[in-house]
Amino acid sequence: MIYFKSDEEIEIQRQSSLLVGKTLAEVAKVIKPGIKTIVLDAIAEEFIRDHGAVPGFKGYGGFPGSLCISVNEEVVHGIPGERVLKDGDIVSVDCGTYMNGFYGDSAYTFAVGNVKEDYLLLLQRTKESLYLAIDQAVAGKRVGDIGHAVQSYVEGFGYSVVRDLVGHGVGRNLHEKPEVPNYGRRGTGIKLKPGMAIAIEPMINLGVKDVVQENDGWTIKTADSLPSAHFEHDVAIRNGKADILSTFDYIEEVLNNK
């Protein structure tokens, strides 16, 4: 079942989504070679709680962290811990908040220190594919239009799209219908209508599309151990133009001033 939101509910949800962006900006301030992922998680949790929300991921399905922190070949759902980030790492940080009855959910992949050019291009193009997908997230289009926008763009560079994990509806629940794959054919899938809110999240691999799950029961990594990038925005479906509820502005302001 798809839950449609009123304009008022969308505005409440926007506050949760914007808080995710602000939280990820706090991560951006301190992410560097030598820092442990558990430290990033603690900073995020404190910031979320200080702003009247609770971490959306902590305890969700038994997940132990406030952030999913996935390094290099890890695609998503990495558990924060004693791992020390190294110069040259790329790190997907996925964050959720829950406030006033609604979830926000957004992710950004950070370059740590001096990162190889082909990895930086993977990040850039994955983020570009997210915005191309968002351009399709308007009333009258279909879910397949979103997936096709991602797939056709990144496969043009020789990258591959993860098939086992998809975007999703978001609102009063962290994961709602519909599923939003990052691949597909134009004009197929569920029709997008005003009042829907979805999380679009391209997960793009430098190598093969296949992924495997680690023994921790959470972490998903690429089958060939080549790196993966991940960016995510919450989007409300409108007539004419997508309404992005989350933001990277706070994050990129920090990164540009580092």
Q: Is 149 exposed, middle or buried (0-12, 13-18, 19+ CB in 10 A)?
A: buried
Model pTM score: 0.98
CATH, range 7-256: 3.90.230.10
Which residue from 11, 12, 17, 47 is spatially nearest to 29, judged by alpha carbons? 47
Residues 108/68, Cβ–Cβ less than 8 Å: no
Q: What is the pLDDT along the chain (258 residues), one digit of tens a residue?
A: 999 999 999 999 999 999 999 999 999 999 999 999 999 999 999 999 999 999 999 999 999 999 999 999 999 999 999 999 999 999 999 999 999 999 999 999 999 999 999 999 999 999 999 999 999 999 999 999 999 999 999 999 999 999 999 999 999 999 999 999 999 999 999 999 999 999 999 999 999 999 999 999 999 999 999 999 999 999 999 999 999 999 999 999 999 998
Which residues have C-beta within 8 Å of that of residue 8, sequence separation ≥ 6?
Answer: none
Which residue from 257, 249, 254 is spatially nearest to 26, judged by alpha carbons? 254
Strands 233-236 and 243-244: antiparallel
CA distance 152 to 19: 31
CA distance 112 to 54: 27
Looking at residue 85, the DSSP 8-state letter turns out to be: P
Domain map (residue ranges) of the chain: 7-256
